[in-house]
Amino acid sequence: MSIWKIQPGWSTAALILGWLCSGSAMADLVKLKTGGELRGKVVSDEQRAPREVSVRTVSGAMVTIRREDVEFIARRSLTYEEYELKARLAADTVAAQWELAEWCVSQRLMQVRERHLERIVELDPENEAAHKALGHQLRGGKWTTHEDYMLSRGYVRYRGRYITPEEKLLLESSQADREKQLAWFEKIRVWSNWLSGRYETQRQLAIEQLKTVDDPHAVPALRNFLEEHAAREVRIVYINTLSQIPFPDATVALAHLAVFDADQGIRLRAVNTIPEQATGMAAGEFIGYLRHADNLVVRRAGSALKQLGDQQAVPYLIEALVTNHKYRVAVEHPAVGVTLGPGGMVTPGVQPPLLPPDLQAALLTGYLSPESIHPPPNPAGAKQWVTVRVDQQNPEVLEALREITQADFGFDKRTWKLWWMAQNS
């Protein structure tokens, strides 16, 4: 049996050593601090050999490295290892991505299969098979998800089905609850007017009245009249009032304010006001916002989760390190296609897309790479608005991960996932 000694700094790329032939269902992955990887079976005993890690490959070779050069060790299924290799080797074409998606079906890797189906749709926006596999429907000449279609018609999702907002309200509230909520609407409407009126006496009276509110039935009225109030001081009163209500509805309202209010100070105050016993529920709300269509909301949710410091958010933060968002941009005629060169500059002879100012600035400053912009191929017409997809890194999400885990792998999702798997194995 041969033994390979790997010196520090040798391996800066993955070492894949014959694991595809293994009869074992699981494989060890050793992540090196240099960035390299070893795959096989860890056979060394930490107690007997505390300074070394030995990995036996399926070919019978032994690789031994210093333990101090190891970042972490994780166990994964051989099927997923095989998938990663195939994904790296697959060409970025419709045919190759479809072949890989079909292989994923045979191996029951349904979640990663969607990545390749989505890539097919990016390469070929009219690919019917990929759209149908993703569950998309052709509506009015455009492919869309069932959820997007129903939401565009004003429906909301409730317990697995789509209903009108009015039906949702009726289902969530009993007749007695609705009567109590309506009673609060009248009171808070009056107090809201006093808060923004010109009489100081009435304003102080409204504040004193709101200090006594601790009934969860008041939350809908509070949100209706105070959540988007133009006066900052009124929204502060709103936050203080919600903090007095120890019920889930108030926590949900605070979380909503923490990501949608335009005032950073208000957002910070909303998070800091969440009671300690409600941080778990609040974290769940912010985790949901990590999947929001608006990148600004995603980043604000990351900031809020950093403040809360809840470990349950880690895998969701990892997934949200880089998120994909849609933007509407104007394309001038003639538009043969959109090619962005270094620094976001447009190559000669091609009309540029009129990107939103923040995205254009991000391209020019290097915050976004040109490869992050995914415009539709060959838009036609004298001038039209088209949808582009943008991969955006979320620094606030990364800061949250650093704060909660005390680890740092940058925006490398894959390494973060491996590390997290190692921590929980």
CATH number of the domain where residue 201 is located: 1.25.10
With cut-offs at 50, 70 and 90, classify the pLDDT of residue 383. Answer: low
CA dist 352 and 344 (Å) reads 10
Tally the residues of the chain. Answer: 425
Lowest mean pLDDT of 23-27, 28-32, 61-65, 231-235, name the range: 23-27
CA proximity to 419, closest of 410, 409, 411: 409
Say what the pLDDT of residue 318 is.
96
State what percent of residues in the chain have pLDDT above 70. 79
- Decide which of 117, 145, 172 is a domain's last residue: 172
CA dist 382 and 417 (Å) reads 46
**What mean pLDDT comes out for the span 57-69?**
78
Task: Name the average pLDDT for the chain.
Answer: 82
Same domain, 177 and 280: yes
Same domain, 189 and 167: no
With cut-offs at 50, 70 and 90, classify the pLDDT of residue 364. Answer: low
User: Between the CA of residue 96 and those of 86, 121, 138, 250, what are the distances in Å?
Assistant: 10, 13, 25, 50
Q: Quote the crossing angle between the two packed helices 295-308 and 279-289, to the nearest 10°.
A: 160
Same domain, 141 and 190: no
Same domain, 148 and 182: no
Higher pLDDT, 368 or 70: 70
Say what the pLDDT of residue 94 is.
95
pTM of the predicted model, to two decimals? 0.66
Say what the pLDDT of residue 371 is.
64
Say what the pLDDT of residue 120 is.
94
Same domain, 9 and 24: yes
Higher pLDDT, 356 or 233: 233
Helices (H), 274-321: 279-289, 295-308, 314-319
User: Between the CA of residue 88 and those of 15, 81, 97, what are the distances in Å?
Assistant: 14, 11, 11
E-only strand ranges, 52-99 = 52-56, 62-66, 70-77
Say what the pLDDT of residue 20 is.
44
In a domain, 419, yes or no: no
CA proximity to 80, closest of 110, 53, 49, 59: 110
- Contacts of residues 232-235 at CB distance under 8 Å and 24 or more positions apart, as own/partner, are 232/263, 232/266, 234/192, 234/195, 234/196, 235/261, 235/263, 235/266
In a domain, 330, yes or no: yes
In a domain, 250, yes or no: yes
Say what the pLDDT of residue 21 is.
44
With cut-offs at 50, 70 and 90, classify the pLDDT of residue 90. Answer: very high
**What mean pLDDT comes out for the span 288-314?**
94
Contact indicator for 316, 287 with CB cutoff of 8 Å? yes
**What mean pLDDT comes out for the span 307-316?**
94
**What mean pLDDT comes out for the span 85-112?**
93
Q: What are phi and psi of 353, to 5 degrees?
A: -75, 145
In a domain, 158, yes or no: yes
Structure tokens at 346: 């447009």
Q: What is the CA radius of gyration of the chain?
A: 27
Same domain, 242 and 189: yes
Q: What are phi and psi of 76, to 5 degrees?
A: -135, 160
pLDDT over 80 at 348, yes or no = no
In a domain, 88, yes or no: no
Return the bridge partners of 156, or none.
163
pLDDT over 50 at 95, yes or no = yes
Lowest mean pLDDT of 103-112, 166-175, 346-355, name the range: 346-355
E-only strand ranges, 289-420 = 322-332, 353-354, 373-374, 383-393
Same domain, 76 and 17: yes
In a domain, 425, yes or no: no
Higher pLDDT, 372 or 14: 372
Say what the pLDDT of residue 206 is.
92
In a domain, 99, yes or no: no
pLDDT over 60 at 322, yes or no = yes
With cut-offs at 50, 70 and 90, classify the pLDDT of residue 84. Answer: confident
CB count within 10 Å of CB 348 equals 7
In a domain, 46, yes or no: yes
| Range picked from 22-31, 39-48, 266-275, 344-353 for highest mean pLDDT | 266-275
pLDDT over 70 at 232, yes or no = yes
Same domain, 209 and 163: no
Q: What are phi and psi of 149, to 5 degrees?
A: -65, -45
CA dist 425 and 418 (Å) reads 10
For 330, the domain range is: 324-391
Please report the DSSP string for 235-276 in residue order.
Answer: HHHHHHHHHT--SHHHHHHHHHHHHH-S-HHHHHHHHHHS-G
Structure tokens at 334: 């003639």
Structure tokens at 211: 């200090």
- What's the half-sphere exposure (Cβ side, CA atoms, 13 Å) at 148? 10
Same domain, 152 and 210: no
Same domain, 168 and 260: no
Say what the pLDDT of residue 34 is.
86
**What mean pLDDT comes out for the span 120-145?**
90
Same domain, 177 and 278: yes
Q: What total of structural domains would you count in the chain?
A: 4
Same domain, 154 and 213: no
